[in-house]
A = this chain, B = another copy of it.
Amino acid sequence: MRYFVVFSYIGTDFHGSQTQPNGITVQETMESAFATILRTPIALTFAGRTDAGVHARQMVAHFDTESIVHGALLTDHLNSLLPASIAIQDIYAVADDMHARFSATARTYEYHITEVKNPFLRGLAAQVAPGLDYERMNDAAATLIGTQDFASFCKVHTDVKTTFCTITEAHWERLGEHEAVFTITANRFLRNMVRAIVGTLMDVGRGKMSVENFRRVIADHNRCAAGQSAPAEGLYLTKVVYD
């Protein structure tokens, strides 16, 4: 039987989501908790990977097991065992051909910034200098919408078949006096794409790049044309959608 797990984590403590040789990851922490409770090795397939320091308000993974799983009970047991940095919201049975990664039709990320030092946002938002022009940044963000080749915002030397993505939502919103959030939804994202987009939009917001030049960065398909990547701590995966 195949199950979906819906969960959230604070990325600060982890060396990213996926199992790798250096440092503790979300995946190995969760697989170890599942194995302890279900008393059998469990392999989790994540909807996507997040880099070190990146958070997830809603990540999805699937796993297969012969055991009969009571979703609510397993959720409670796992939440007791898992560290405070990971919380499971739901576990439920799905059709055998549902795949956490390949069946996902859309993903939403948020990028949070604060213009003043705020201890309660430590590790949870990137602190930036005040004075960003959000109207200009939204004018630039609007040019992201649609199906385009986003190679300009892709980490170089990654092994992907295509760098085309369909972005359906991309805008900044002020939150109170000193904070703002960038929300972006697409059918798929390339490695490092959101952080590269946010970093380049900040250049627009500071007047270092015109909206027209931002549009040209997309058209160039060349990572060197884009701005610096924004730091990991502001980034959240917030939604994964399945049909």
Q: Which residues of A contact B (CB under 8 A)?
A: 8-10, 55, 57, 79, 84-89, 116-120, 122-124
Contact = CB atoms under 8 A, between A and B. Distances in A.
A122 B116 CA distance: 22
B10 A87 contact: no
Contacts of A87: 116-119
Contact of A118 (B8, B118, B124): B8
A79 B124 CA distance: 18
Contacts of A88: 117
Nearest to A7: B119
Chain A contact residues: helix, strand, loop or mixed = mixed
B122 A84 contact: yes
A228 to B, nearest CB: 21
Nearest to A119: B10
Contacts of A117: 79, 84, 87-88
21 contacts: A8-B118, A8-B119, A8-B120, A9-B119, A10-B119, A10-B120, A10-B122, A55-B119, A55-B120, A57-B120, A79-B117, A84-B117, A85-B119, A85-B122, A86-B119, A87-B117, A87-B118, A87-B119, A88-B117, A89-B116, A120-B124
A120 B84 CA distance: 9
Contacts of A79: 117
Contacts of A119: 8-10, 55, 84-87
Contacts of A8: 118-120
A162 B122 CA distance: 39
A8 B120 CA distance: 9
Contacts of A118: 8, 87
Contacts of A10: 119-120, 122
Most buried by B among A8, A119, A122, A124: A119
A119 B89 CA distance: 11
